[in-house]
Amino acid sequence: MLYVKINEQGLPLERPITKRAMQERLPNVMLAEDPSDEILRTLGFACVPEADLPPRREGHATVLGIPEVDSNGKMVRTYEYIPYTEEGLEIRKNELRADRDKLLAASDWTQSADVQATMSPVQQQEWSEYRAALRNITEDFADPKLAVYPEVPSEDFAKVDTKDPKAKAKRTIQALFTEARQEGLSYQFPDGLTGNIQLRDPTDLVNLLGIAIRVILAKETSQEFSTSFRDAQNNTHALNASEALLLVLSAFNYMISLYERKWTSEAKIEANQADSAEAAWSE
């Protein structure tokens, strides 16, 4: 609860203060836990009722203003918008960065290979996007007070059986599969340069599929087709229709071969045809 100094007519004279601040102004008065309006008035103060905060305004701090008295004689809170100083805005950005860093650190455990191996592709994508949104939060929101934190993804992963050697080997195979997928396909482009085609998440595959669809549509409408493709090393390569289709087919064939390698390796472990996950993966 907040309180305000009033004049003889009961009109507010200043911004509201806390009960502790009011007590400091009245050192010789022992205030009750919840002083009545009559007692407050004899002391030259009045209670300021609670009220919802108004909508925030970007680049401004919302502060309490001098209360008003409405037509019914009721005390009403008011608010003012004060522009942030450049220094004040930087302080708030630093506070946002600190909060962001704590959340990133708290989710670091989700990035270990053994935990990633228990996640579905969708869960991996959700956690990747969550952490990316945290890293970008100071750039995405000019006013830290208006920043919207991303929703924390589900932690409902598959239970890991730490005693079953086959289950452990399959987790290792999943980790090797993920590592190979994240590395991508090493590809020699028509311009003679070699770079990696990124295949880390479903978005990469959707982008490749989009290129193929554009080639097909261009052929159907007898239009010229050309596009550019940026590899994992941030080099951009110009491609015509046939070159683009060859790139897409190579990438999808690589993904198919990765999945076949993963399934074959798991089958070898299940049938006791390999001494270790690494051996099953490399054969």
The answer to pTM > 0.85 is no
Among 83, 105, 125, give the residue marking a domain's end.
83
Q: Which residues pair with 255 in a beta bridge?
A: none
Which pair of structure tokens corresponds to residue 110?
């989700």
- Digitized pLDDT (tens) for each residue of the chain, 283 residues in all: 899 999 989 999 999 999 989 999 998 888 888 889 999 999 999 999 988 888 888 888 888 899 999 888 899 999 988 888 888 788 888 888 999 999 999 999 988 877 887 787 788 888 999 999 999 988 888 788 778 899 999 888 766 666 788 888 888 888 889 889 889 999 999 999 999 999 887 788 888 999 999 999 988 888 889 999 999 999 999 999 999 999 999 999 999 999 999 999 999 999 998 888 899 998 7
* 274 in the same domain as 213: yes
* 189 in the same domain as 235: yes
Q: What is the pLDDT of residue 4?
A: 92
* 57 in the same domain as 121: no
* 79 in the same domain as 6: yes
* 251 in the same domain as 192: yes
Q: Which of 64, 97, 68 is nearest to 10 (CA)?
A: 68
Residue-wise pLDDT tens digits, 83-124: 888 887 888 888 889 999 999 999 999 888 778 877 877 888
Query: In angstroms, rounded to a whole number, what is the distance separating the alpha carbons of residues 211 and 251?
Result: 12
Which pair of structure tokens corresponds to residue 82?
């004060």
Q: Which domain holds residue 142?
A: 86-146
Among 61, 83, 105, give the residue marking a domain's end.
83
In a domain? residue 230: yes
Query: In angstroms, rounded to a whole number, what is the distance separating the alpha carbons of residues 75 and 73?
Result: 7
* 90 in the same domain as 18: no
In a domain? residue 70: yes
Query: In angstroms, rounded to a whole number, what is the distance separating the alpha carbons of residues 173 and 189?
Result: 30
* 49 in the same domain as 137: no
* 264 in the same domain as 194: yes
Q: Which of 233, 190, 229 is nearest to 212 (CA)?
A: 229
Q: What is the pLDDT of residue 161?
A: 66
First to last CA, the chain: 73
How many other CB atoms are there within 10 angstroms of residue 110's CB atom?
A: 19
Number of domains in the chain: 3
Query: In angstroms, rounded to a whole number, what is the distance separating the alpha carbons of residues 134 and 140?
Result: 10
> By the 8 A CB rule, do 10 and 46 touch?
yes
Q: Which amino acid is at 214?
A: R
Query: In angstroms, rounded to a whole number, what is the distance separating the alpha carbons of residues 117 and 134?
Result: 23
Backbone angles phi, psi at 155, to 5 degrees: -105, 20
* 136 in the same domain as 50: no
Among 83, 117, 138, give the residue marking a domain's end.
83
